[in-house]
């Protein structure tokens, strides 16, 4: 299917079962034409669309996602790998976690791999999937993944929660990743996006007036909008003219309802908000401006054009009459402070057994980031393979793999000291989530009732998180600005190595990925 400017969303329709089911999904990874913001280019896409097909499931289901790699354009990375961002992955299933060179080899062109991912620990909420290989998802390989809870304890707060209430915001580039990477590596300057997209459509300065995405509502109803920042860099600030938003979920974790009228989302972060359609029937702007780098480096960028329309039933088919703004005026602003969020069910963060300090430093003038003076380089042999083959200590891994060996069934505290860097780094933990003991937005240390999430900003004020190693595995912990990730801003938190060897029994299909990938010529890897 060709992607044109009016193509905003593609969904796999999945019936909501009464009992746990197997949810089978097929993703054909192809090079396809597209013009999300009116500029024609070739994409790396799932099933030919941007965003990729919506995947939905119910609590306790099992995802069975078959990935057919049909990439054939030599101007792009030809291999791929799919990660399900925020989904818990148990130790025994670590080989299906989707991190190339950590838990698997990439899937080469003309190869197929099926990820079987049971949804465990009653996990529900708002997630997404994307290519985890290098910066490939910048070219379009990203989409939403929603896990519904038939027994949602917050269900009495909203009336509507369906595929039409999912908002995916993302940064978009007119150039493809290989030349963008070459420019980044030559200058150390992270590429600045041409535009922002809302459910797959956007506008750039001087470009065609692509119709804005329309979100339809009915007066008197309450809507659960699930907002996902699928960016590789940009921070999006979301608000709706004349409407409040009540936050009820953060990165898959239910939160105590908190009413605000504007919220920021770093790359990879998600929130559910409840909007009550209680204003006069009309069209209202959904504002989604963004920041990410110096906009003077890309004159196509006009963050004010990043938006959608909230249209009440009965309103005319027209743009809102109000001017395009960046959000509420200063005197009316009630912005979300992450430190004010509380879990729906309060619980303390366990005291730490292990303390690790991570210092983030960029090498001036180069595309190189360091964590504790180490710039991460993906190992040639995946971490999981090394562990299964007997690796048992830090000395069994190259220094550049930045692998921390941790005991099982302990609580690990990660301290990010305050930084002089002016960019907030969204650090993301794979396979698990963490207690956010200290937010970068506040000096308050909260161990009594911190929220749990899987992406937290690291920057000027410092951040502290704690996570449990009760689920052993080699789990990526990295910056979700994927340009920084490519430049080395990543670690691997490898816990319970003996447990991994006892519990992980990969399939022959997984074992075949390595020889197939290593046999590929470099231009197909």
Please state whether beta strands 235-240 and 263-265 pair in parallel, antiparallel, or not at all (unpaired): antiparallel
Q: Residue 415 sits in a domain of what CATH number?
A: 2.60.40.420
7: pLDDT strictly greater than 80: no
The answer to whether position 60 is within a domain reads yes
If asked whether residues 320 and 396 sit together in one domain, one would say no
Does residue 31 sit in helix, strand or coil? strand
Q: 293 and 179 in one domain? A: yes
- Per DSSP bridges, beta strands 166-172 and 222-229 are parallel
Query: Quick one: DSSP state of residue 299?
Result: T
Q: What is the pLDDT at residue 12?
A: 39
By CB neighbour count within 10 A (0-12 exposed, 13-18 middle, 19+ buried), where does 390 fall?
exposed
Could you tell me if 304 and 189 lie in one domain? yes
Q: Indicate if 331 and 377 belong to the same structural domain.
A: no
Whether residues 495 and 414 fall in one domain: yes
| 189-223: pLDDT as tens digits | 999 999 999 999 999 999 999 999 999 999 999 99
Q: Report if residue 377 sits inside a domain.
A: yes
Boundary residue ending a domain (310, 336, 362): 336
State yes or no: pLDDT of 352 exceeds 70: yes
Q: What are phi and psi for residue 186, nearest 5 degrees?
A: -80, -30
User: Mind listing the pLDDT tens digit for each residue in 409-454?
Assistant: 999 999 999 998 888 999 999 999 999 999 999 999 999 999 999 9
Residue 8 domain flag: no
Looking at the fold, whether 147 and 80 belong to one and the same domain comes out as yes
Same domain flag for 277 and 378: no
pLDDT of residue 252: 98
Percent of the chain clearing pLDDT 70 (strictly above): 97
Residue 309 lies in a domain: yes
Cα-Cα-Cα-Cα dihedral of 383, 387, 391, 395, to 10°? 30
Query: Does any domain span residue 5?
Result: no
Q: Which domain holds residue 59?
A: 22-151
- Within a domain: 1: no
Residue 377: C-alpha distances to residues 184, 356, 360, 437, 486 (Å): 16, 20, 15, 29, 8
Confidence (pLDDT) at 6: 31
Q: Domain boundary at 301, 336, 371, which?
A: 336
Number of domains in the chain: 3
pLDDT bracket for residue 8 (50, 70, 90):
very low
Same domain, 59 and 136: yes
What pTM value is reported for the model?
A: 0.96
Regarding whether 182 and 61 lie in a shared domain, the answer is no
| Cα gap 491→370, rounded to integer Å | 10
- Alpha helices by DSSP H, listed for 126-213, are 177-187
Do 371 and 497 share a domain, yes or no? Answer: yes
Is 344 among the domain residues?
Answer: no
User: Do 257 and 340 touch, CB atoms closer than 8 A?
Assistant: no
User: Is the omega angle on the peptide bond into residue 331 within 30 degrees of 0, that is, cis?
Assistant: no
Position 326 scores a pLDDT of: 97
Report d(CA 398, CA 418) in Å as an integer: 28
Q: Is residue 161 part of a domain?
A: no
CB 255 within 8 A of CB 248: yes
Residues 314 and 268 in one domain: yes
Q: Which segments of 11-93 are extended strands (E)?
A: 22-34, 41-46, 55-58, 62-69, 82-85
pLDDT of 16 > 60? The answer is: no
pLDDT, mean over the chain: 95
Domain shared by 100 and 226, yes or no: no
Share of the chain above pLDDT 90, in %: 95
500 with 387: CB under 8 angstroms?
yes
Contact 472, 387 (CB under 8 A): no
């Amino acid at each position: 299917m060709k992607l044109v400017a009016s193509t905003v969303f593609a969904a796999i329709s999945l019936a909501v079962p009464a009992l746990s089911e197997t949810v089978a999904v097929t993703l054909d990874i192809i090079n396809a034409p597209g013009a999300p913001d009116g500029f024609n280019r070739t994409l790396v896409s799932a099933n030919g669309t941007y965003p990729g097909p919506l995947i939905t499931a119910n609590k306790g289901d099992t995802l069975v996602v078959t990935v057919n790699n049909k990439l054939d354009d030599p101007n792009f990375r030809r291999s791929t790998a799919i990660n399900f961002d925020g989904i818990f992955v148990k130790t025994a299933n670590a080989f299906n976690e989707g991190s190339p060179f950590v838990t698997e080899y990439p899937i080469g062109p003309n190869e197929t791999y099926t990820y079987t991912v049971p949804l465990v620990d009653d996990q529900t909420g708002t997630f997404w999937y994307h290519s985890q290989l290098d910066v490939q998802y910048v070219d379009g390989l990203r989409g939403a993944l929603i896990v519904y809870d038939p027994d949602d304890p917050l269900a009495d707060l909203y009336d509507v929660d369906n595929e039409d209430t999912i908002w995916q915001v993302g940064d978009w580039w007119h150039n493809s990743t290989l030349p963008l990477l070459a420019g980044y590596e030559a200058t150390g300057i992270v590429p600045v996006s041409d535009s922002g997209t809302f459910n797959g459509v956007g506008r750039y300065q001087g470009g065609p007036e692509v119709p804005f995405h329309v979100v339809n509502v009915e007066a008197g109803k309450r809507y659960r909008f699930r907002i996902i920042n699928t960016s590789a860099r940009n921070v999006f600030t979301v608000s709706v003219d004349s409407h409040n938003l009540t936050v009820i979920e953060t990165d898959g974790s239910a939160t105590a309802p908190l009413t605000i009228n504007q919220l920021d989302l770093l790359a990879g972060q998600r929130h559910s908000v409840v909007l009550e359609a209680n204003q006069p029937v009309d069209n209202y702007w959904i504002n989604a401006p963004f920041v990410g780098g110096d906009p003077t480096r890309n004159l196509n960028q006009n963050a004010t054009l990043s938006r959608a329309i909230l249209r009440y039933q009965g309103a005319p088919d027209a743009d809102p009459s109000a001017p395009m703004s960046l959000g509420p005026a200063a005197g009316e602003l009630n912005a979300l402070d992450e430190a004010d969020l509380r879990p729906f069910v309060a619980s303390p963060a366990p005291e730490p057994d292990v303390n690790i300090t991570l210092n983030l430093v960029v090498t001036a003038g180069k595309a190189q980031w360091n964590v504790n003076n180490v710039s991460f380089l993906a190992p040639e042999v995946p971490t999981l393979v090394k562990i299964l083959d007997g690796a048992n200590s830090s000395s069994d891994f190259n220094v550049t793999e930045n692998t921390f060996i941790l005991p099982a069934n302990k609580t690990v505290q990660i301290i990010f000291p305050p930084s002089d860097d002016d960019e907030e780094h969204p650090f993301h933990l794979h396979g698990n989530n963490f207690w956010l003991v200290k937010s970068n937005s506040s000096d308050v240390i909260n161990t009594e009732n911190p929220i749990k999430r899987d992406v937290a900003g690291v920057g000027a004020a410092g951040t502290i998180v704690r996570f449990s190693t009760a689920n052993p595995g080699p789990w990526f912990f990295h910056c979700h600005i994927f340009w920084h990730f490519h430049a080395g801003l990543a670690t691997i938190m490898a816990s319970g190595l003996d447990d991994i060897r006892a519990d992980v029994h990969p399939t022959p299909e997984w074992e075949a990925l390595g020889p197939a990938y290593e046999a590929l010529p470099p231009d197909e890897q």
